[in-house]
Structure 1
Amino acid sequence: MRTGQKLYERAKKVIPGGTMLLSKRPEMFLPENWPAYYSKSKGCEVWDLDNNKYIDVSIMGIGTNIMGYGHQEVDAAVSEVVKNGNMSTLNCPEEVYLAEKLIDMNPWADMVRFARSGGEANAIAVRIARAASGKDKVAICGYHGWHDWYLSANLGNDEGLAQHLLPGLNPCGVPQNLKGSTLPFLYNDYEELENLVKNHDIGVIKMEVQRNEPPKNDFLKKVRKLADDYNIVLIFDECTSGFRETYGPLFKKYNVEPDITIFGKTIANGYALSAVVGKRAVMEAAQNTFISSTFWTERIGPAAALKTLEVMERDKPWEYITEMGKYVTVKWCELAQNQNLNIKTFGIPALTGFSFESENTLKYKTFITQEMLKRGYLASTLLYPSTAHTKGIIDPYMTNLEELFHVVSQCELENKNIDDLLEGPVCHGGFKRLN
């Protein structure tokens, strides 16, 4: 066992679940053999605790670093903040400048509240929207974090959120009296949403603009009209999709506007900052409830976000990562076709992924991660492109992947047995209890 693997064994004894984020648990990639921890990162390269260098062709900090790790200009802005003091009794002026910047980018909006993570920003948005609407029930579509209001969708029905990114989420610890307060609907199923609105006293519709498939039959515009007709607050969660195809929200592509939107992940290129942006008539309801936290006032997050937005506006990284994502997706399909494999691709280009259409899909995913790690890659069946992913990096990755696709094809033909090729347990496909 290497240093990182040993440290993860220690972590599981003192940290429930082993890590703070489900998506970073080694079990999600390569149980027992994933490096688990890093010592440094730069561009799209990551060094583990034994100083082994890997090229990150997976999820780039869970989608936080579209301009690569350790961006020089953003890091320099943060260094100035550290030098001049990150925290004091007074407020940092950067939060005002950043709020004004986000409103300038979103002329439909008037006010902003900041937090430091996507989950808490989602909780803030729901609290404000409930306060504004005067109603408790929320209709949701997509993944919106870990708080009680969201997980309550699984009370009495463990499959309520199964088709919203993570299957198997256990609402243990969520008060039972929240049952029925959050009601899920499927993306592009307008009739399902309409029935929820007509049969329940819905005050908030909260949804991702797009994740695995585009809107069909004017779905988003129909949702907007439905919200207007029933005096419902509409929230578009852009924590994941924001800044990946446009300078700001993805909903700009579809000519539809929410009452509130949420940004996170990419907005500060790896530094902690999330934003709730909305219309004054809704956002002022925040004054009628209590939403407050000490570390939402620290300075690093807003300073990093201001510099990130400045660089984004100049360099337009969303254009590059979208084209690179398209390039990678086409290459995956070509590799599969050449090996007579059936794969399904999903996601917007800048959040692209694939899965094998086989009963052994998780075993094949584990095998690819296992073998690519030996070749110096952090790889899975997802790629969140960054500006650091050049074709000089992607093309050799594809060459290595082609050899592994050939092995998978041999397994599908039963010339090889995938179980004989795996050197440890199969990766997890959702939320599972870790002992």
Structure 2
Amino acid sequence: MNTGQDLYKKAKTLIPGGTMLLSKRPEMFLPEKWPSYYSKASGCYVWDLDGNKYTDVSIMGIGTNILGYGNKEVDEAVAEVVRKGNMSTFNCPEEVYLAEELIHMNPWADMVRFARSGGEANAIAVRIARAASGKDKVAVCGYHGWHDWYLSTNLGNEEGLSRHLLPGLDPAGVPQNLKGTVLPFLYNDFEELENLVKEHNIGVIKMEVQRNMPPKEGYLAQVRKLATDHNIVLIFDECTSGFRETYGPIFKKYGVEPDMTVLGKTIANGYALTAVVGRREVMEAAQRTFISSTFWTERIGPAAALKTLEVMRDLEPWNYITEMGAYVTQNWQRLAETHRLKIDTFGIPSLAGFAFQSGEALKYKTFITQEMLKKGYLASTLLYSSMAHSKEIIDGYLSELDGLFNTIHQCESGELAIDSLLEGPVCHGGFKRLN
């Protein structure tokens, strides 16, 4: 057992769920073997508590670091803020400058509110939208965090969110009187959304613009028109997709504008900052409800975001990470064909993933993580590209993956048994309560 796993055993006795983020639980990668904690990170490299160095070809801080870990320019801007003072009785001017830049980036919008995490930013957006529309019901598509408004989708409908990335979410602790206030619809299924609007008094449509697949031709325009025709506030959640293919939200590609959008993750390259951007007539409803938090006024987040956006404007990283993500996806497909395996690939190129078409898919995923860890890689079946992922690094990763795909082919053909190759439990595929 490594130092990190030893510490994680202690963590599970002190912290419900073991970690603050489900996606970082060791059980999501390699139960009982994952190093769990880091001592430092730089570029696309991470060191564990025992000093072992790994190349991160996995989720790169859950997609927060497209400039790489520890970007010098961003970190220096943050260090300067720390030296001068991160918090005071006054407000930090950076939040005004950042709001100006986000409105310049989104000329359809007029006003901005800031938070520090994606879940709370989405909750802020829904609260404002409900206040603006005067209606409670929300039609929802995609993943939008952990707050009551979102988990209420599963009240009396356990499958409500199972089609939205995370199966197994129990709405325990969510008030039962929220039942029926949030209604799910499938992405690219306009008829399902249209029927929700016809049958319910929908005040808000909240959706991710793009995650595992692109929108069908005209789909987003149909959603926009539906919202406009029925006086519904349309929110595009770009916490994950923002800055991945454009300077700002990915909906720029499609020529469709929402009433509000939520930006996060990459906006400050790993520092905590999220933003709700919207039209004045919607955003001003925030003054009719109470939305306020002490640590939304700290200085590090806005300062980091301002510098990150400056670096982005110079480097245009979305071009490189899209190219590299497409390269990885093509090579996953090549390896699968070479070794006579069937896989599905998904995601926008810079947030790419694959899944084996097999009843043993989770075991194969665990096996890849197990073996790649021995070779010095943090890997699963996802790769969130960053500027730190050189072609040489990616080619080295793919070379190591080649042999593992061959072994998996032998398991699929019956020459080997995957159970005999696994050195511990199988990774989790969704939310599970920990013992």
Query: What TM-score comes out, normalization by structure 1 length?
Result: 1.00
Amino acid of the structure 1 residue aligned with 2:204: V
- Residue 268 of structure 1 pairs with residue 293 of structure 2: no
Aligned length, in residue pairs: 435
In the alignment, what sits opposite 2:58?
Answer: 58
In the alignment, what sits opposite 1:29?
Answer: 29
- Residue 337 of structure 1 pairs with residue 314 of structure 2: no
What SS does the corresponding residue of 1:261 show, helix, strand or coil? strand
Alignment of 1:391-406 (within 5 A): 391-406=391-406
In the aligned structure 2, how far is the partner of 1:395 from the partner of 1:217?
34
Give a deviation string over 1:146-189, Cα, whole Å, max 9, x none: 00000000001111000111111110000000000000000000
Give a deviation string over 1:119-161, Cα, whole Å, max 9, x none: 0000000000000000000000000000000000000111100
- Residue 6 of structure 1 pairs with residue 13 of structure 2: no
In the alignment, what sits opposite 2:433?
Answer: 433
In the aligned structure 2, how far is the partner of 1:217 from the partner of 1:193?
16
In the alignment, what sits opposite 2:230?
Answer: 230
In the alignment, what sits opposite 2:378?
Answer: 378
In the alignment, what sits opposite 1:48?
Answer: 48
- Residue 175 of structure 1 pairs with residue 193 of structure 2: no
In the alignment, what sits opposite 1:281?
Answer: 281
In the alignment, what sits opposite 1:94?
Answer: 94
Alignment of 1:158-169 (within 5 A): 158-169=158-169
- Residue 411 of structure 1 pairs with residue 432 of structure 2: no
In the aligned structure 2, how far is the partner of 1:325 from the partner of 1:340?
22
**Could you list the runs of 5+ residues in structure 1 that have no partner in the other structure?**
none
In the aligned structure 1, how far is the partner of 2:100 from the partner of 2:228?
27
Q: State the shift of 1:32 in Å.
A: 0.4
In the alignment, what sits opposite 1:137?
Answer: 137
Give a deviation string over 1:98-122, Cα, whole Å, max 9, x none: 0000000100000000000000000
In the aligned structure 1, how far is the partner of 2:16 from the partner of 2:371?
29
In the aligned structure 2, how far is the partner of 1:357 from the partner of 1:388?
31
Alignment of 1:65-214 (within 5 A): 65-214=65-214
- Residue 420 of structure 1 pairs with residue 410 of structure 2: no
What SS does the corresponding residue of 1:203 show, helix, strand or coil? strand
Return 154-163 or 202-211, whichever deviates more: 154-163
Give a deviation string over 1:210-245, Cα, whole Å, max 9, x none: 000111131100000000000000000000000000
Amino acid of the structure 1 residue aligned with 2:393: I
Give a deviation string over 1:316-338, Cα, whole Å, max 9, x none: 00100000000000010000000
Q: State the shift of 1:268 in Å.
A: 0.1
Alignment of 1:362-377 (within 5 A): 362-377=362-377
In the aligned structure 1, how far is the partner of 2:297 from the partner of 2:410?
56
In the aligned structure 2, how far is the partner of 1:208 from the partner of 1:81?
33
In the aligned structure 2, how far is the partner of 1:357 from the partner of 1:221?
33
- Residue 312 of structure 1 pairs with residue 321 of structure 2: no
The root-mean-square deviation of aligned C-alpha atoms, in Å, is 0.3
In the aligned structure 1, how far is the partner of 2:84 from the partner of 2:425?
48
Q: State the shift of 1:271 in Å.
A: 0.1
**Could you list the runs of 5+ residues in structure 2 that have no partner in the other structure?**
none
Amino acid of the structure 2 residue aligned with 1:279: R
In the aligned structure 1, how far is the partner of 2:238 from the partner of 2:91?
27
Amino acid of the structure 2 residue aligned with 1:206: K
In the aligned structure 2, how far is the partner of 1:419 from the partner of 1:227?
51
Amino acid of the structure 2 residue aligned with 1:6: D
- Residue 16 of structure 1 pairs with residue 29 of structure 2: no
Query: What TM-score comes out, normalization by structure 2 length?
Result: 1.00
In the aligned structure 1, how far is the partner of 2:224 from the partner of 2:270?
32
In the aligned structure 1, how far is the partner of 2:115 from the partner of 2:9?
32
What SS does the corresponding residue of 1:349 show, helix, strand or coil? coil
In the aligned structure 2, how far is the partner of 1:91 from the partner of 1:321?
35
Give a deviation string over 1:76-109, Cα, whole Å, max 9, x none: 0000000000000000000000000000010000
- Dislocated runs of 4+, deviation >3 Å: none
In the aligned structure 1, how far is the partner of 2:422 from the partner of 2:380?
15
In the aligned structure 2, how far is the partner of 1:111 from the partner of 1:354?
38
In the aligned structure 2, how far is the partner of 1:167 from the partner of 1:240?
19
In the aligned structure 1, how far is the partner of 2:221 from the partner of 2:180?
26
Amino acid of the structure 1 residue aligned with 2:101: K
In the alignment, what sits opposite 2:217?
Answer: 217
In the aligned structure 1, how far is the partner of 2:163 from the partner of 2:323?
28
Q: State the shift of 1:31 in Å.
A: 0.3
In the aligned structure 1, how far is the partner of 2:289 from the partner of 2:115?
16
In the aligned structure 2, how far is the partner of 1:67 from the partner of 1:217?
32
In the aligned structure 1, how far is the partner of 2:241 from the partner of 2:158?
26
Amino acid of the structure 1 residue aligned with 2:255: N
In the aligned structure 1, how far is the partner of 2:168 from the partner of 2:229?
35
